[in-house]
């Protein structure tokens, strides 16, 4: 049997970290088993769904490289299909019309609450052998309810959480079509999962409560069509913020595209998400392809995973170091443009990237670090006071002369600075720091001789002169 998994987001917001991890695990499971991964957009909540959210999900999937074999399927385009299935369930007796009015149900509810009972449908319109149903009122459009089994338990071996059993007596006769004929959420999921031949449903554990209802409906459908099978279920525990609380905007509950904007590489985000609740021995750094070969549901931790920005940064730093120079160049051109640096010299930019990429956590830090190669920096006032002290000015002036006469490689520049340091009886930083401030505007930079080599003699001398005035 071909493995088929799906990611079924509701387009009521962007693709966030939790959703992306669910998508990644479903994707990897399908890849590992040579199966198919399906994208399904669950857009039946018309009031809360939006085309922008659909686009955000598609963009997020694309950025992460989570390619799907089928879809995207849109539930709103499948309404006719749901109606056909509802009719077949009515015909088979696994669904029935219910004419109880809202007021009636509300009164029932209040009565049950007053008696400290769990509010539930009283089964007034549920057909049973030998039961005489009331006459349908003419002025009520009926809803359609699923005839949930009343006895026994519904059970499944959750691939993450282990065996779960729910007594059928706990489950109401679910409304599967509203009075206006539109099908409801759990029912659409069931029809889709069976039509799409889903073999493993991998999703967040906020859906555990839906599963017994869905299984019962699938069983009812399998009585109509014996080829329909109940899939396996794997419910992933939620992701908590680094403070152990529900994920908030500060850590993780943002769009995955925000990570792109903030300078994270998709490889880093994927690698990070893969380890969020799943492990393969001590392996921390691995590619998406490697993950899809290793992934299994046995090594998912049933407990909640905790978001950890430092770890994500660490991975991102790793992937930035490893990144293909052309990719980094293209990325930095865009990020520099956002910082007002248009059409920077490509050779200088590549050299700057090579120098800086070893020391940054994000692509934004990289771009921030590169701006001064193309624009005169504004000098950090505190650094000026601290390092551009009157005693060092004559040394800098003299150094300017020496540099002017020197050829322009990092090693020779280093030699010239070193000679000035020795000649003036200084320690290296005493001269290197003021040089940094004069040339880059701040006191932190990679090795200053290398920075100067990239920047070019003329520009270095101009910047030196500017502080000597
Ligand atoms: N549409 C649901 C959600 O976004 C997922 C449904 C499912 O995976 O079964 O939470």
Q: What is the pLDDT of residues 392-403, one digit of tens each?
A: 999 999 999 999
Q: Is the pLDDT of residue 245 over 90?
A: no
* 457 CA from centroid of ligand 1 (Å): 60
Q: What is the pLDDT of residues 344-391, one digit of tens each?
A: 999 999 999 999 999 999 999 999 999 999 999 999 999 999 999 999
> Ligand 1 pocket test: which of 10, 60, 188, 211 has the largest number of ligand atoms within 8 Å of its C-beta?
10
Which residue CA neighbors atom 7 of ligand 1 most closely? 8
Burial of 255 per CB tally in 10 Å (0-12, 13-18, 19+):
buried
Confidence (pLDDT) at 251: 65
Judged against a pLDDT cut of 70, whether residue 96 lies above it is answered with yes
Among 5, 6, 7, 8, which residue has the most ligand 1 atoms within 8 Å of its CB, making it the best to mutate?
A: 8
Which ligand 1 atom sits closest to the C-alpha of 210?
9
As a whole number, the mean pLDDT across the chain is 96
Tokens found for residue 337: 């443009």
Strands 239-240 and 305-306: parallel
Using most ligand atoms within 8 A of CB, pick from 7, 203, 212, 231 the residue to mutate for ligand 1. Answer: 203
**Distance (Å) from CA 323 to ligand 1 centroid:** 34
Q: In this predicted structure, what is the pLDDT of residue 254?
A: 80
CA of 9, closest atom in ligand 1: 4
pLDDT recorded at residue 23: 98
CA of 313 to the centre of ligand 1 (A): 29
- Kindly report the CATH class assigned to 381-468: mainly alpha
| Ligand 1 nearest atom to the CA of residue 203, by list position | 8
Cα of 10 vs centre of ligand 1, distance in Å, is 6
pTM of the model: 0.93
Q: Which residues line ligand 1 (CB under 6 A)?
A: 8-10, 42, 189, 203, 207
Q: How far is the CA of 456 from the centre of ligand 1 (A)?
A: 56
User: Distance from the CA of 185 to the center of ligand 1, in angstroms?
Assistant: 9
Q: Give the ligand 1 atom nearest the CA of 7.
A: 8
The pLDDT tens digits for 276-315 are 999 999 999 999 999 999 999 999 999 999 999 999 999 9
Pick the CATH number of 1-68+237-322 from 3.40.50.300, 3.40.30.10, 3.40.50.620, 3.30.420.10: 3.40.50.620
333 C-alpha to center of ligand 1: Å? 38
pLDDT per residue as tens digits for the range 403-431: 999 999 999 999 999 999 999 999 999 99
Confidence check: pLDDT of 249 > 70: no
Question: If you measure from the C-alpha of residue 96 to the centroid of ligand 1, how many angstroms do you get, rounded to a whole number?
Answer: 26
**126 CB-near residues (< 8 Å, 6+ apart):** 96, 98, 145, 147, 173
Counting atoms of ligand 1 from 1, which one is nearest the CA of 19?
A: 4
Per-residue pLDDT at 242: 83
Instruction: Tell me whether the CATH fold assigned to 1-68+237-322 matches the one assigned to 381-468.
Output: no
Give yes or no for a contact between 247 and 17, defined as CB atoms under 8 angstroms apart: yes
User: Could you tell me the distance, in angstroms and rounded to a whole number, from the CA of residue 54 to the centre of ligand 1?
Assistant: 14
Tell the CATH topology of 79-236. Answer: Rossmann fold (3.40.50)
Q: Where do the structural domains in the chain lie, given as residue ranges?
A: 1-68+237-322, 79-236, 323-371, 381-468
């Amino acid at each position: 049997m071909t493995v088929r998994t799906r990611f079924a987001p509701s387009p009521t917001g962007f693709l966030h970290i939790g959703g992306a991890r669910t998508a990644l695990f479903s994707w990897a499971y399908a890849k590992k088993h040579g199966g198919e991964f399906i994208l399904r957009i669950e857009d039946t909540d018309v009031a809360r769904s939006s085309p922008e959210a659909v686009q955000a999900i598609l963009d997020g999937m694309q950025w992460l490289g989570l390619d799907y074999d089928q879809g995207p399927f849109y539930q709103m385009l499948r309404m006719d299909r749901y109606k056909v299935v509802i009719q077949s369930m009515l015909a088979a007796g696994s669904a029935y019309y219910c004419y109880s009015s809202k007021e009636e149900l509300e009164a029932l509810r209040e009565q049950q609450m007053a008696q400290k009972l769990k509010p539930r449908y009283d089964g007034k319109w549920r057909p049973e052998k030998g039961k005489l149903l009331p006459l349908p009122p003419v002025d009520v459009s009926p809803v359609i309810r699923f005839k949930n089994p009343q006895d026994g338990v519904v059970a499944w071996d959750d691939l993450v959480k282990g065996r779960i059993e729910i007594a059928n007596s706990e489950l109401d006769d679910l409304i599967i079509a509203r009075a206006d004929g539109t099908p409801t959420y759990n029912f659409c999921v069931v029809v889709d999962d069976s039509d799409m031949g889903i073999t493993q449903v991998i999703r967040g554990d906020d859906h555990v409560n839906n599963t017994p209802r869905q299984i019962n409906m699938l069983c009812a459908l399998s009585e109509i069509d014996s080829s329909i099978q109940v899939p396996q279920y794997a419910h992933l525990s939620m992701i908590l913020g680094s403070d152990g609380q529900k994920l908030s905007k500060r850590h993780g509950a943002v769009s995955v595209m925000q990570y792109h904007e903030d300078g994270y590489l998709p490889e880093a985000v994927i690698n990070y998400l893969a380890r969020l609740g799943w492990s393969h021995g001590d392996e921390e750094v691995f590619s998406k392809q490697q993950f899809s070969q290793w992934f299994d549901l046995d090594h998912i931790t049933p407990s909640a995973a905790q978001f950890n920005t430092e770890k994500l940064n660490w991975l991102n730093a790793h992937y930035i170091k490893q990144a293909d120079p052309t990719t980094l160049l293209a990325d930095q051109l865009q990020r520099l443009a956002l910082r007002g640096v248009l059409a920077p010299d490509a050779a200088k930019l590549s050299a700057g990237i090579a120098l800086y990429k070893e020391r940054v956590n994000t692509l934004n830090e990289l771009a921030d670090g590169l701006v001064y190669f193309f624009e005169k920096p504004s000098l950090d006032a505190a650094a000026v006071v601290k390092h551009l002290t009157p005693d060092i000015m004559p040394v800098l002036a003299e150094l300017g002369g020496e540099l002017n006469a020197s050829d322009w490689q990092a090693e020779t520049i280093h030699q010239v600075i070193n000679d000035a340091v020795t000649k003036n009886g200084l320690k290296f930083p005493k001269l290197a720091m003021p040089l940094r401030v004069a040339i880059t505007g701040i006191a932190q930079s990679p090795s200053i001789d290398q920075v100067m080599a990239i920047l070019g003699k003329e520009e270095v001398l101009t910047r030196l002169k500017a502080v000597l005035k």
